[in-house]
A = this chain, B = another copy of it.
């Protein structure tokens, strides 16, 4: 094979958290999912050739994968053949932790309104990470923080992750903030996720089979820490009650 294109390092256009195709993974499915992640990073769409190059597969392979994704409504092609994510993802996404989110929504709305700050629901995703699943902005406030669901953070950075850890038995290497949260009923962190903003979160009591979760708010200053912390802890408790 003299002709093999040995481009060392296929030169990815996106440097997100890469997933290494470990043994025991389906290469084809992996490639298809990488296309979805690539498209998520390119709101204006990509051509088949661009996708093939970014993913590091032959153009015809990308073509076949795209056709398959398209059949499932997970991507679409506009009139100029550019490919972007499809509405089918909305349907799938709706089913993720559906009960948790359905029950959390009114509680978060309530919390956001009483604290007059943006409220969030965060779930644990792995040993080391959490992901924001829901963000509810207050109905009336002069100014408030806004951010999108879907963001991933280290579990030991930010109030939500600390709050989740505080619902678990103490470990040797946990941050002191975790035990503080265990005693107070809520966790607080400043500038760990977004600089200049303060997070105050409380862990939702553990339930079997369910994801570990936390609710909380993002505020600009913490002079009201005790009051806000109490409201957040109450919200987490009532959500836990609803989940049995």
Chain A residues packing against B (C-beta within 8 Å): 19, 22, 24-26, 28-33, 36-37, 39-41, 43-45, 64-65, 67-69, 71-74, 76, 78-80, 82, 85-99, 123, 125-126, 131, 133, 139, 148-152, 208-211
**Further pairs besides A87-B133, A92-B93: 4, Cβ < 8 Å:** A29-B32, A78-B209, A87-B131, A87-B150
A sample of 20 cross-chain residue pairs with beta-carbon separation below 8 angstroms, ordered by A number, consists of A19-B72, A25-B71, A26-B32, A29-B32, A30-B68, A30-B71, A36-B92, A37-B72, A40-B91, A76-B211, A79-B208, A80-B208, A82-B209, A87-B97, A89-B92, A91-B131, A91-B150, A93-B150, A94-B148, A139-B139
Most interface-central of A40, A74, A89 (chain B CB within 10 A) = A89
A96 and B91: CB pair below 8 A?
no
How often does this chain occur in the complex, in copies?
Answer: 2
Min CB–CB distance A33 → chain B (angstroms) = 5
Please give the distance in Å from A61's CB to the nearest CB on chain B: 9
* A41, A67, A86, A96: most-surrounded residue (chain B CB, <10 A): A96
For A96, what are the chain B residues with a Cβ–Cβ distance below 8 Å?
85-87, 89-90
Cα distance, A31 to B33, chains bound together (Å)? 12
State A69–B217 Cα separation when bound (angstroms): 31
Residue ID in chain B nearest A148 by CB atoms:
B94
Is there contact, CB below 8 Å, between B28 and A26?
A: yes
Given contacts A72-B19, A85-B96, contact A78 B210 (CB under 8 A): yes
Note all chain B residues with C-beta closer than 8 A to A148. 94
